[in-house]
Amino acid sequence: MEFTLGQIAGIIDGKVEGNSEIKVSAIGSIEEARSGSVSFLSNPKYESHIYQSQASGVIVNHDFKPQKELTPVLIRVKNAYLAFTTLLQEYQRIMNFSKSGIEKPNYLPESTSHGENLYLGAFSYIGENVTIGANVKIYPHTYIGDNVTIGDNCIIYPNVTVYQNCKIGNYCTLQAGVAVGSHGFGFAPKEDGSYENIPQVGNVILEDHVDVGANTTIDCATFESTIIRKGVKLDNLVQIAHNVEVGENTVIASQSGISGSTKVGKQVIIAGQVGIVGHLHIADKTTIGAQSGILRNSKEGETIWGTPAMDKGQQAKSLVIFRKLPSVMKRIEELEEKILNLPSN
């Protein structure tokens, strides 16, 4: 695929300084990009690389002032990092949406309806009464259960499973191995010490612009719905339990798990390997540090970490004390010895 720098500037709302007719066909880092490639510079830490770069074009911030002569043509934008992200998204969109048609073999019943430009990969199974929007790409070995709804412009990568009755909004991306609507972890203890399975009869709702990473699982609700609100981004290997609700534009990093019926607010940041117990409320704009164990509700805008998690200031002070424990213990033992050796009256 080939674009001129002028066309790229149009995509990212930028202004070209130099020859806008130069053509590029690749995207690369500022260190590695070669002639015919476009790159970006947003972090001043990497500015030295732009003076040796052989890239045909480099996206930079409006306020960038070169200190030396440059080879690349500059494309000035308000935010180079976001602009480059937009360019990558457009590149990915073109690559993904170039696929179309229905491959064989697969199962696509007459009761299923779909919009234009459907791509259905080989060995896929589409259940009864499924509704699929326009420009949807479903890659091979995918299972879509009965009565599922999939909105427009979704990408569902190989080996994804979407269980019956689930709803997926517009512009959603499900990476390989995702399971949406799997059985919630609900078991009732019996008198003999065994467990009785509690049927999970709800579904999962993904609103618009939700991204779900590879091998992430989102369990169906016991009743009603497990809900992932619009703009949520889930990393690989995330576990969302039954009846959880994740608020708008929240991001959750890899290997984190949220137990049943917890409500996560808007614009929450959850780092990797976080565990959250059930029936909690994580307030809007909470930030949770990596490997934290969350046993309580949070306050809006709070930053917490540790196990059990606490306010970051308290946690930092506690760590200082924790590091001093060996020396404190030594002093206590010395004091005990002195007390024992005091002369008796």
Nearest residue to 107 via CA among 78, 71, 146, 163: 146
Residue 127: alpha-carbon gap to chain centroid: 28
In terms of DSSP H, where are the helices of the chain? 5-12, 47-50, 80-97, 312-340
If you search the block for the tokens 């990093």, which residue do you land on? 253
Nearest residue to 215 via CA among 254, 247, 244, 272: 254
Q: Which amino acid is at 314?
A: Q
Torsion, Cα 12 13 17 22, to 10 degrees, reads 50
Calculate helix-pair angle for 5-12, 80-97, nearest 10 degrees.
110
Kindly report the number of other CB atoms within 10 A of residue 217's CB atom: 19
For residue 32, CA distances in Å to 53, 86, 263 come to 8, 20, 44
Give me the active site residues, please. Answer: 242
If you search the block for the tokens 């896929």, which residue do you land on? 124
Rounded CA separation 122/217 (Å): 23
Could you say which DSSP state residue 334 is in?
Answer: H
Backbone angles phi, psi at 157, to 5 degrees: -80, 175
125 touches 146 (CB < 8 A): no
Rounded CA separation 295/297 (Å): 7
